[in-house]
Structure 1
């Protein structure tokens, strides 16, 4: 079993990760919003195994291998399986992502679009060390993976390294120098009228009976002098979310402030929490309450979420024990810094012998960001959208050797590569959709990210 210990000192995880943020293949899963879902934050450092899917080919530590990405990871998890006797989310395992594009092949959907950003479709890294923050109890835990070194020695070396880095960081803190506001350029792959036309095409498909609902998105590219880790720090402060993260993969970085859980597995129980329905936050408490109430009672948003709940129940039933799948929460309004969301929760008991990777493959991509039926919705998405989604509406999270996992839906997220930020925004389309409202919803969803990318005056 992996070794672990509670550290005698406490620093917020964001301060600890700032000591490692410039190092390639370090990652930070940040639960910065203190609610029932935001508690543990996880830092992964000292990678020892990097598994990638590049255009359908499997790469292990940079070397091409026979077999599939999903099969390799599923077998690796089984071979190295171990118990986690603690309340910590994991002691050893991997952190990474699946891009939306990864889900095209298993769903037998081809894309007419070229890649805008050349990154792997799937990427998971197994780490020697995790640094875990328990925010509620203000505690830090250190873990060391069992297969590598003597655990006690490894934890001791980590503790010494941490103390040195934090000391030097405190001694060398200086304010960042930023260019003035306005030093950025913005590009969208849809003009407003084009987006209206695409929504009308989706509505026609719904009327004709091809689908019940589809998620329609547009891509935004932002050129900004603000560096990605600074963008992340601004989001961490001004737009906290329970499924945020910063992932430094060298030639590209991921900045994430997602409010949506895609999938969690713990003690054999799988949980998914689709979001459908958004309202902006009000300028006053009274306006805030009115907008919350409007969302809660919106027939369009409730029917939209209900259709996705049905889809997610069907997906869970593929890998869960018969009769175990149930909806535990149907319509709940959750508040975030700039928006309200309507959310449901569905749970089920995973079948014996299934791994967390098997569950992920059965559910991916999430129904809340495709539509129903899933495959036909994905075909229509590729037809009407102007770009590949790439990472957007994929999933970021961890896979633990005790067969647990936790993954988000990649929304409110930007990929930074070659000096450009790439992000997507979208929403669910039904036959009740109003064109202007749907476009305005994408503007509200982009607001926090774009503000964080704009430099200070």
Structure 2
């Protein structure tokens, strides 16, 4: 992640606290806000204004009354090319799952949008980050444009004054929990498709409505603290929509002509130590259902990457390794390949969007089945959020899972799990409850 740009000078402000605590005061300064923590040892966090981004809505693509006549891939390529010409700002983007359905409908592919696609509804955004702050935990500093130094110092002071005591469980009051009867019916209907051979696996998602016991930014910071070891942490607020979450599931990581992604499948409670992690990994690998499901999704990911990578370059870098994320242990596999740089990163981002790991297989038919079974928009759940670092010509994005979206005084949580013909409703409900544990 590059330093904030454009700016004549870069200032550094001491800050030893949690950067998630800066969301509220920086939103007061910058307006619509984007917060993103990148993976890796550096664990730097970006907080930036979204005031200058293009909105992707049900009405088209626009920014301040100006229309963009191309498609989403063309918009991404245009913005990334502008950033590369520099010196320019990093480019942020988020794409909702519902956008993928709209793109399908526009392309004439069956299984289009759910019925509630209201005019003007936000489906995504993409654009440069003109005002930005970068937190570096190694130095305990914030980097910002020199002109913003005084405002950022003031935000740090307000953060210190607002420091809250450690959260007590639960973080929320549950307004509407998982409906086990509705889920059992959905699973039964999904099994009919599975037994008929329409699909091999499908990722059913469920909504839960909760009311945080604190402010929304404080709730996000508390959840992020619970997911401190997760690779990604993300928050964006734009046009009245606020979406946030934490995960370790990449969508597209592209740099130096190579692209990498990851597959999760198979779930157990979080391991407490290395020995237990290996034991739970072995247990998941030895389970015929989990193993077969995981390998099928790895093949789907290889197929998606193979659609735009150079022939013979797609490889599985690691297979079925146990990974602890928040309250869960998953089996994880990494898939990578060398892509044709002439294609454009916009096409790379959309080539595997949405991910099979949050939809099912075959992907197009699974989307049709989900539109019927779920009968409601997914919003940004199963979508993607990320950033393009112009200085390194590197794109980092992650799949949005266990997603939280503001809805008035409440928060809508959504999470999902893959089901196959042999899935047991009691076991699947227990896994969904486990995935929601750190959010409630």
**TM score, norm. by length of structure 1:** 0.83
Residue of structure 2 aligned with 1:417, choices 392, 402, 407 = 407
Query: Match for residue 150 of structure 1?
Result: none
1:94 counterpart = 2:91: yes
1:76 counterpart = 2:79: yes
Query: Match for residue 188 of structure 2?
Result: 200
Query: Match for residue 304 of structure 2?
Result: 315
In the alignment, the residues of structure 2 paired with residue 295 and residue 37 of structure 1 have an alpha-carbon distance, to the nearest angstrom, of 26
Query: Match for residue 34 of structure 2?
Result: 27
Are the structure 2 counterparts of residues 65 and 106 from structure 1 closer, same or farther at C-alpha, using a change threshold of 3 Å? closer
Query: Match for residue 123 of structure 1?
Result: 125
1:383 counterpart = 2:372: yes
Residue of structure 1 aligned with 2:421, choices 396, 410, 431 = 431
Query: Match for residue 179 of structure 2?
Result: 191
CA RMSD of aligned residues (A): 3.2
**TM score, norm. by length of structure 2:** 0.86
In the alignment, the residues of structure 2 paired with residue 183 and residue 104 of structure 1 have an alpha-carbon distance, to the nearest angstrom, of 32
Query: Match for residue 61 of structure 2?
Result: 58
1:7 counterpart = 2:4: no
Query: Match for residue 295 of structure 1?
Result: 284
Query: Match for residue 333 of structure 1?
Result: 322
Residue of structure 2 aligned with 1:258, choices 247, 253, 257 = 247
Note the alpha carbon deviations across 1:295-331, whole angstroms, 9 max, x for none.
2432211211111111111111222122211111111
The alignment of Structure 1 onto Structure 2 pairs a total of residues equal to: 426
Query: Match for residue 106 of structure 1?
Result: 103
Moved more, 106-115 or 95-104: 106-115
Contact 2:50-2:238 at 8 Å conserved across structures: no
Are the structure 2 counterparts of residues 38 and 255 from structure 1 closer, same or farther at C-alpha, using a change threshold of 3 Å? farther
Q: CA deviation at 1:247?
A: 1.8
Contact 1:331-1:342 at 8 Å conserved across structures: yes
Query: Match for residue 213 of structure 1?
Result: 201
Note the alpha carbon deviations across 1:248-285, whole angstroms, 9 max, x for none.
32522222122311211112211011111111236899
1:237 counterpart = 2:250: no
Contact 1:228-1:255 at 8 Å conserved across structures: no
In the alignment, the residues of structure 2 paired with residue 393 and residue 63 of structure 1 have an alpha-carbon distance, to the nearest angstrom, of 29
Contact 1:326-1:347 at 8 Å conserved across structures: yes
Moved more, 382-391 or 13-22: 13-22
Query: Match for residue 139 of structure 2?
Result: 138
Secondary structure of 2:132's aligned partner: strand
Structure 1: gaps of 5 or more residues: 85-90, 144-154, 451-457
Secondary structure of 2:133's aligned partner: strand
Contact 1:219-1:387 at 8 Å conserved across structures: no
Q: CA deviation at 1:342?
A: 0.9
Q: CA deviation at 1:37?
A: 3.9
Are the structure 2 counterparts of residues 30 and 204 from structure 1 closer, same or farther at C-alpha, using a change threshold of 3 Å? same
Residue of structure 2 aligned with 1:446, choices 420, 436, 439 = 436
In the alignment, the residues of structure 1 paired with residue 326 and residue 167 of structure 2 have an alpha-carbon distance, to the nearest angstrom, of 24
In the alignment, the residues of structure 2 paired with residue 178 and residue 308 of structure 1 have an alpha-carbon distance, to the nearest angstrom, of 37
Are the structure 2 counterparts of residues 69 and 164 from structure 1 closer, same or farther at C-alpha, using a change threshold of 3 Å? same
Secondary structure of 1:319's aligned partner: coil
Contact 1:17-1:43 at 8 Å conserved across structures: no
Contact 2:79-2:127 at 8 Å conserved across structures: no
In the alignment, the residues of structure 2 paired with residue 168 and residue 243 of structure 1 have an alpha-carbon distance, to the nearest angstrom, of 25
Q: CA deviation at 1:82?
A: 4.2
Residue of structure 2 aligned with 1:394, choices 376, 383, 387 = 383
Contact 2:59-2:119 at 8 Å conserved across structures: no
Q: CA deviation at 1:202?
A: 1.8
Secondary structure of 1:211's aligned partner: coil
